[in-house]
Structure 1
Amino acid sequence: MNEVFFFEELLQSEDDAITIVDTEKKVIYWNNAAEQTYQITKEQIIDQSITDFFSHDDLMVMKVLRTMKPVKNAYHRPRKDKHVVVNTSPVFNQENTLIGVISIERDVTHIVKLNDNLESTSQELQELKQKMSPSSSGSPFAKLVGESQALHQMIRLASKTADTDATTLILGESGTGKEVCARAIHDASNRKNAPFIPVNCGAIPQALFESELFGYESGSFTGAEKGGKAGKIEMADGGTIFLDEVGELPLDMQVKLLRVLQENRIYRIGDSRGKQIDVRFIAATNQDLEKLMQENKFRSDLFYRLNVIQLTMPPLRDRKKDIELLAETFLKQFALKYQASVPKLPAETMEVLRQYQWPGNIREIRNLMERIIILHEGTTLTSQDVLGFLPVSFSTPPLARTESLPLEKENMEKTSIEQALEICNGNKSKAAKQLGISRVTLYQKIKKYNLSD
């Protein structure tokens, strides 16, 4: 019967809170994670009625005991201070008689609070920006620094787009400045004094998508706030919502978003009447949406709704003449921030920066210049100095001429990712930051190059 001990250890080692309740509402199992999540010890709760510790209306296990139907991947608030994603299932014996319920709950309180703080901070920054520069004569597109033809052509198209309410899709690699472009379009439009609400679709847990984007009515689900809560789309009413990494939207949310785009009406969870809204939609992605459509991962009708105006952010490797201007701009910016002097950039140093491929684009060169200001000692940044800040693979001998340019680039990119993961001891968030790319992009590259986790 050693299997029992293995099973017990498995349940106790699980990071999610696991609760088992019998048909009399008595708790017969409560693992370590449940103790940590709810600050209730096994000694306190085992063999006691679960309703002695939680309100009957706030318990998913009571709903499943009543309906005898499982609940999968649902957002739930068992307490006012706890947000969880819950999977709860009825348990039946050989005679198909209900004998209890098992509930597995993942604590996402920290994620929800961070998201709320981010939402609040973004709104405060937007309001502060409007107060600080209400009559700025400069174009909002001036934040897109560069003199290359590719960038100026994109800015001309974006400027024309700003004068309309047309739904816009911004394509481009990670780090090319898609959100900066979206903000510039908003700031150049007649909606500039209304909210600009950015939403990173790749950062929202799937179970929270609907409530985050569309909001909910009071009492629409267990734990819902009294008075309900507006979703991100409703918060952007009169202004602009920016859906970054839109390719990460689950298919069921794509259907709901399509309905909003078609009807200009938002339906909170638990509301069948809906509310008329006036929102400008700008979406962005670094993925190939047409390929996702072929794989049935992205709806074609939603793609055509979003793709009224299409803008493509050029990668930095196609903007070689902008590299010097960007380097000097970021060096001055961070020298001011850290009260440091700006190092000189000789011609040979600039040549090294121009030869580098910049897989992380603007984000990568910005991060590099910040590191240089913080760590570099001396008044001049030599070519050897800058090679010390770039990925090790860049300073290795070039590949044989038989290698094609795309393959050479992929080999360099793969090596850079391997080295970043090794330096960061496998921490993908730190590695992504060092590489100047998003964590979602890093996961995609790891999969592409078959790198071990």
Structure 2
Amino acid sequence: MNPLLKKAILKPYEFNLSAKAAWKQYQDHGIHSNDSIRHEIYESWENSKSLGVNPLQSKIQEVVTHHDLGNRLQQNEQLLSYATPKTTHILELLNESQTMLSITDRQGTILYSCGNRQTLKRAEALNISDGGTWSEKSAGTNAVGVTLKTKQSAQVLFSEHFCEKNHDWYCAATPIIAPFTKELLGIVNIAGSNPNLHPHTFKLIIAETQNVSNSIMGQVYESAVRDNLFLKNTIEVADEAILVVDSGKNIIERNIIAMTNPIISQVSQIQSLIGLEELLIHTMNGQNILNEEVKIKHSKQIFRCSIQPLSFQDIYLGAIITLRKTKSFSKHEHKPALKKTTNKKSDPFLNITGSSTSFSYVIKQAKKAAAIDATIFLSGETGTGKEVFAQSIHQASERRDHPFIAINCGAIPKGLLESELSGYEAGAFTGARAKGSPGKFEMAQGGTVFLDEIGDMPLDLQVHLLRILEEREVTRIGSAKPIPIDVRIIAATHRDLSQSVTDGLFREDLLYRLKIIQLTLPPLRERTSDISELSHRFINELSNQFGKQHVQITAETVQCLIDYHWPGNIRELRNVIQQALFNLEGEMLTPAHLPLELTSNLKQTDKEQLLESLQAENGVVTHAAKRLGVSRATMYRRMKQFNITAR
């Protein structure tokens, strides 16, 4: 441990006198005694000064808007879901030591704080609360600001702070680092102003903070591997070279094969591989790259290259590059032109409208899933577009040139479902076709079977389906000859199948077979920022049916659509636009053309509930959200919708 830092912990009073004198000397004359202040603190002072930070400022200067904070909470909801449970076991320690703990995003903006009430109240007066940004530019030298620059743990104690108003405070920050690419995801920080804090307690608090950070990183690692099945597979492959690059396209890690390969081991930057940089640009938009050719500079050797982007909470963190040796060019050969993956086929997901954070995340996950030939389970309320996603996944997969067969498990009569799935031979039953008929699985050979509303399938047919999935073959009714099948399964439901298993309505073993890769489509009420775009799309698609051209929609009408709760989701929105176009006489679509249920004040009850919960919890948004059973991000969105501000 640095001797000065050790002194700060063991003899805080003496240390603070020394640091205060050094700070005053620096502010007055721009110099300091070399042995009185740590090197990293002096560097931060210099940086704070160059950024124009006022050492006499009374509080953090940068506080994000209420709207921006809501967006950041939503974007970091997964990180916070990992972080907040980890803080509960140290709440007693924080309270007794008069200390607070905060979680920030990768920009240093505080998203969540807990700990001693009095300390939290004092911190709030300095803007050290939700929305405050703890960067050097905003707050001068502080632990979070130093960690933002170095991606290393940092402690800034008492008069080491650049701003005099913070000289009573100590703070210690620990970074949350992404696995594989080492990008900064957030920071865990402790802060307090208790001058009588026992040295052992301070050491314990720092250790616990590091434990919280390590625990969060462990869950992020599990999430990264779970969400990037391609990554998991490539790491386990022993005969391919693997490079890991960060968001700046720097090679930061490589596997044993890459380190021992005589050619690849000499590659220190991606520019040494001709064509790789161009391919990486596509991965920044969530595009998987499969089996493209890249060539080593000044060499005849070419490699087959596959790239899997890595992301967390919609943040691009870098990529995993797999290189497989192919052949060398002869004198008479020409290097084939690099093919852009995005131009092989038009992107099937371009037909899906929506750019909200939650929806964009599902699209990215669906693109990843399309590249992996595994069973997919789509869940979501009725009308959220599950079949559209299934078709897009099929079109984006290697099975695109083979059939996509959809089966609505809830619409086929119980007695006919088995024959629909497996087919039948001639004369198998009364009314059977003279030549028999293939089943849906047989018809989809090489392609995709979409099992819609799988939750409505009768129990006895679930046994039949389970056997097909396990044996990968079907036997037609009236035949004893099994037919091997090669299909990909995409199942979908609006039901909670875990509850159906509990209720005895769905087989648990079948559910495990189906839930390999799981995607959940958000309801329309949770992606209201997409409603305007969807409305314009439906207007363009449907106007010709009613002899309309150049139909415009007023902002007030769009707001009515946004305010509605959409129990029928996208399907209901399309029907509403169709009804509105039917009612329309001119070219301007107004609220008067919408169904009555959209224009009445249906949201008043929701607003009253919001106000009541905030009042009951003395304006504390986190507690009010818990009372209503919603996330903080959802709470902030609703407050913004009704122009409600927290007190």
TM-score > 0.5 by shorter chain: yes
Q: Is 1:139 matched with 2:341?
A: no
Match of 1:398 in 2: 604
1:216 Cα deviation from its structure 2 partner: 0.9
Q: Amino acid of the residue matched to residue 140 of structure 1?
A: P
1:327 to 516, 535, 538: 535
Match of 2:410 in 1: 202
Match of 2:320 in 1: none
Q: Amino acid of the residue matched to residue 355 of structure 2?
A: E
Q: Amino acid of the residue matched to residue 584 of structure 2?
A: H
What is the distance in 2 between the residues matched to 1:214 and 1:139?
33
1:140 Cα deviation from its structure 2 partner: 0.4
> Secondary structure of 1:227's match?
coil
In structure 2, the gaps of 5 or more residues are 1-342, 612-647
List per-residue Cα deviations over 1:19-43 (Å, max 9, x = no partner).
Answer: xxxxxxxxxxxxxxxxxxxxxxxxx
Match of 2:429 in 1: 221
Call closer, same or farther: CA 1:157–1:337 in 2, change over 3 Å. Answer: same
Q: Is 1:250 matched with 2:430?
A: no
2:373 to 148, 165, 170: 165
Judge conservation of contact 1:169–1:309 (CA < 8 Å) in 2. yes
Match of 1:188 in 2: 396
1:337 Cα deviation from its structure 2 partner: 4.0
List per-residue Cα deviations over 1:350-387 (Å, max 9, x = no partner).
Answer: 2111111111111011111122222211232223433x
Judge conservation of contact 1:162–1:189 (CA < 8 Å) in 2. yes
What is the distance in 2 between the residues matched to 1:220 and 1:347?
61
What is the distance in 2 between the residues matched to 1:175 and 1:278?
30
1:241 Cα deviation from its structure 2 partner: 0.7
> Secondary structure of 1:173's match?
coil
1:236 Cα deviation from its structure 2 partner: 0.8
List per-residue Cα deviations over 1:266-291 (Å, max 9, x = no partner).
Answer: 11112223100101110100001000
What is the distance in 1 between the residues matched to 2:529 and 2:371?
29
List per-residue Cα deviations over 1:50-102 (Å, max 9, x = no partner).
Answer: xxxxxxxxxxxxxxxxxxxxxxxxxxxxxxxxxxxxxxxxxxxxxxxxxxxxx
Please, which moves more after superposition, 220-229 or 250-259? 220-229
Q: Amino acid of the residue matched to residue 158 of structure 1?
A: A
Alignment of 1:108-147 (within 5 A): 137-147=345-355
> Secondary structure of 1:399's match?
helix
Judge conservation of contact 2:373–2:488 (CA < 8 Å) in 1. yes
1:394 Cα deviation from its structure 2 partner: 4.0
1:230 to 438, 441, 447: 438
Q: Amino acid of the residue matched to residue 142 of structure 1?
A: L
> Secondary structure of 2:553's match?
coil
Judge conservation of contact 1:331–1:342 (CA < 8 Å) in 2. no
What is the distance in 2 between the residues matched to 1:274 and 1:202?
26
Match of 1:312 in 2: 520
1:223 Cα deviation from its structure 2 partner: 3.1
1:345 Cα deviation from its structure 2 partner: 2.0
Higher relative CO (Cα under 8 Å, sequence separation at least 6) belongs to 1
Judge conservation of contact 2:552–2:589 (CA < 8 Å) in 1. yes
Judge conservation of contact 2:561–2:598 (CA < 8 Å) in 1. no
What is the distance in 1 between the residues matched to 2:383 and 2:561?
17
Match of 1:375 in 2: 583
1:247 Cα deviation from its structure 2 partner: 0.5
List per-residue Cα deviations over 1:139-181 (Å, max 9, x = no partner).
Answer: 1011210110111100111111111220111000000000000
Q: Amino acid of the residue matched to residue 250 of structure 1?
A: P
List per-residue Cα deviations over 1:316-345 (Å, max 9, x = no partner).
Answer: 101111000000111011113443124322
What is the distance in 2 between the residues matched to 1:297 and 1:177?
25
Match of 2:501 in 1: 293
1:390 Cα deviation from its structure 2 partner: 4.3
Q: Is 1:385 matched with 2:593?
A: yes
What is the distance in 2 between the residues matched to 1:336 and 1:402?
42
Match of 1:155 in 2: 363
Q: Amino acid of the residue matched to residue 191 of structure 1?
A: R
Judge conservation of contact 1:247–1:298 (CA < 8 Å) in 2. yes
Judge conservation of contact 1:342–1:373 (CA < 8 Å) in 2. no
Call closer, same or farther: CA 1:145–1:136 in 2, change over 3 Å. Answer: farther
1:213 Cα deviation from its structure 2 partner: 1.4
What is the distance in 1 between the residues matched to 2:572 and 2:598?
15
Q: Amino acid of the residue matched to residue 229 of structure 1?
A: S
Match of 1:14 in 2: none
1:234 Cα deviation from its structure 2 partner: 1.2
What is the distance in 1 between the residues matched to 2:476 and 2:470?
16
> Secondary structure of 1:241's match?
strand
Judge conservation of contact 2:560–2:599 (CA < 8 Å) in 1. no
What is the distance in 1 between the residues matched to 2:388 and 2:486?
22
Match of 1:87 in 2: none
Judge conservation of contact 2:557–2:589 (CA < 8 Å) in 1. yes
Larger radius of gyration: 2
Call closer, same or farther: CA 1:316–1:273 in 2, change over 3 Å. Answer: same
Pairwise CA RMSD: 2.1
1:211 Cα deviation from its structure 2 partner: 1.1
Call closer, same or farther: CA 1:397–1:138 in 2, change over 3 Å. Answer: closer
What is the distance in 1 between the residues matched to 2:462 and 2:491?
12
> Secondary structure of 1:170's match?
strand
TM-score (norm 2): 0.40
Judge conservation of contact 1:212–1:232 (CA < 8 Å) in 2. yes
Judge conservation of contact 1:356–1:394 (CA < 8 Å) in 2. no
Match of 1:284 in 2: 492
> Secondary structure of 1:258's match?
helix
Q: Amino acid of the residue matched to residue 355 of structure 1?
A: D
Match of 1:352 in 2: 560
Q: Amino acid of the residue matched to residue 560 of structure 2?
A: V
Match of 2:254 in 1: none
TM-score (norm 1): 0.56
Judge conservation of contact 2:474–2:482 (CA < 8 Å) in 1. yes
1:138 Cα deviation from its structure 2 partner: 2.8
What is the distance in 2 between the residues matched to 1:162 and 1:351?
35
Call closer, same or farther: CA 1:332–1:397 in 2, change over 3 Å. Answer: closer
Call closer, same or farther: CA 1:357–1:202 in 2, change over 3 Å. Answer: same
